[in-house]
Amino acid sequence: MLYNLHTHKLSSDTNIFDIVNRYPYEDIDVPFFSTGIHPWHIDEEKVYEHLAIIENRLSLPGCLAIGECGLDKRIEKPLDFQIEVFEKHLLLAKKHQKPVILHLVAAFQELIEVHNRIKPGVPMIVHGFSKNIQVAKQLLDNGFYLSFGKYLLRNPELSAVFAEVPADRFFLETDMVEESITEVYAKAATARNIDIEDLKDIVSTNFKTVFKNG
């Protein structure tokens, strides 16, 4: 079984376990999903309506995580408001004990500050990780997991970062790339210089640890 932490499209391959992202305004049409408000799509007039939809979905058996949600300094939406919405996600995660899949762009210090203040007590995974080993270690030291996909395929330098992430702290994903999760696994196995079957065992163990019914 290949586990895909974060995608927007369900695979037709029965040997792939996808957590498919579904925003509050999207139908739930997949077996397993995450749900949250992406910072790009925060609608000030509908925030509370969307948060209510998210909370209702958290009781569904197929809902494995909150997200993607997070912070993005490279968009025009005010960061203070993004933080306010993000905090509400973490409070839901704390209340319902659901892992969180994070979208983070240039706001790692803010992420750590909010996390340490709210103390959600659940696994939190930074998806689409693309930064250097210093940022990776800072996040790992604060208890975060890292998920690799698009940038592992696109950026040769990221392989060295990925190789240093502890085996019990990473996931793999496709997000919205055209490549399959099979290709991501192949690249990841090469980067860590391990057999693909060993890699599959590692990711499977991490999934079952973080997503109890994964």
pLDDT over 70, % of the chain: 99
Which of 37, 39, 35, 32 lies closest to 17 in space, CA to CA? 32
Model pLDDT, residue 212: 79
Model pLDDT, residue 96: 96
Q: What is the mean pLDDT of residues 156-171?
A: 98
Mention every residue, 6+ apart, whose C-beta is less than 8 A from residue 60.
28
**For 166-178, how does the pLDDT look when each residue is reduced to its tens digit (9 = 90+)?**
999 999 999 999 9
Query: Residue 213 — pLDDT band, cuts 50, 70, 90?
Result: low
Task: Give me the domains of the chain, ranges plus CATH numbers.
Answer: 2-210 (3.20.20.140)
For 172, phi and psi rounded to 5 degrees? -125, 155
**For 47-72, how does the pLDDT look when each residue is reduced to its tens digit (9 = 90+)?**
999 999 999 999 999 999 999 999 99
pLDDT > 50? residue 83: yes
CA angle 4, 28, 96 (to 5 degrees): 75
Provide the H-helix boundaries in 40-157. Answer: 47-57, 79-96, 108-118, 133-141, 150-154
**For 18-31, how does the pLDDT look when each residue is reduced to its tens digit (9 = 90+)?**
999 999 999 999 99
